[in-house]
Amino acid sequence: MALIMVAFLFVPTWQNQNKDMKTKDGKASDAKVTLTPFYLTLNGTEKYEERSKDNIIKEQKILNETKITIYIAILAIVVAVVGAFSIFQYRTRTLQVKLGAFNSLLLCLIVVCISINIMQGNKLLDNPADGDFQGFFIPIIGILLNMMANHFIRRDEKLVKSADRIR
């Protein structure tokens, strides 16, 4: 799981863009929003054309906004470190279970932070499409792997306790 969370740092988490070039108020926008564990960025151009009897007025505005989301990356690094540390705590399985539960909590927090940033990214667009969830599922896979690890650690602990009773 630690390797998966390190890979999560290098994959775009989510991308979205406007469905249509034309917006409701006559503007044309090719804006694109990208969420990574480090940044939420809006890039693109917005074109506006106004026609009157005498002349045509054209405007073009370059969209370039960036919001820092480094707290997602920090949480992912903490999850990777705790996961790697818990691997070497095989002699104290109760500590391993507690570290696994803590990791699951952090992974859920990462999913909540990503969801909040996705909602904020959709607000930046005039006419958002469905979006492309590229690395969004990596923390969810981490949660499932963590649950499986905790299940097998508990099963191993029960096996050791039953072997102690036999002696």
What is the C-alpha R_g of the chain?
23
Phi/psi for 41 (5° steps) reads: -120, 145
Q: Count how many domains the chain has.
A: 1
The range of the structural domain enclosing residue 117 comes to 2-166
> Could you tell me which of 159, 7, 161 has the C-alpha nearest to residue 83?
7
Task: Per-residue pLDDT tens, the chain, 167 aa: give them.
Answer: 889 999 999 999 999 988 766 655 667 778 889 999 999 999 888 877 776 667 766 777 788 889 999 999 999 999 999 999 999 998 898 999 999 999 999 999 999 999 999 999 988 887 777 888 989 999 999 999 999 999 999 999 898 888 877 66
Q: Are 132 and 36 in contact (CB under 8 A)?
A: no
Give the CATH number, domain containing residue 8: 1.20.140
Mind listing the pLDDT tens digit for each residue in 29-72?
Answer: 788 899 999 999 998 888 777 766 677 667 777 888 899 999 99
pTM listed for this prediction: 0.85
Q: What is the pLDDT of residue 25?
A: 60
Neighbouring residues of 106: CB distance < 8 A, sequence distance ≥ 6: 75, 78, 79, 82
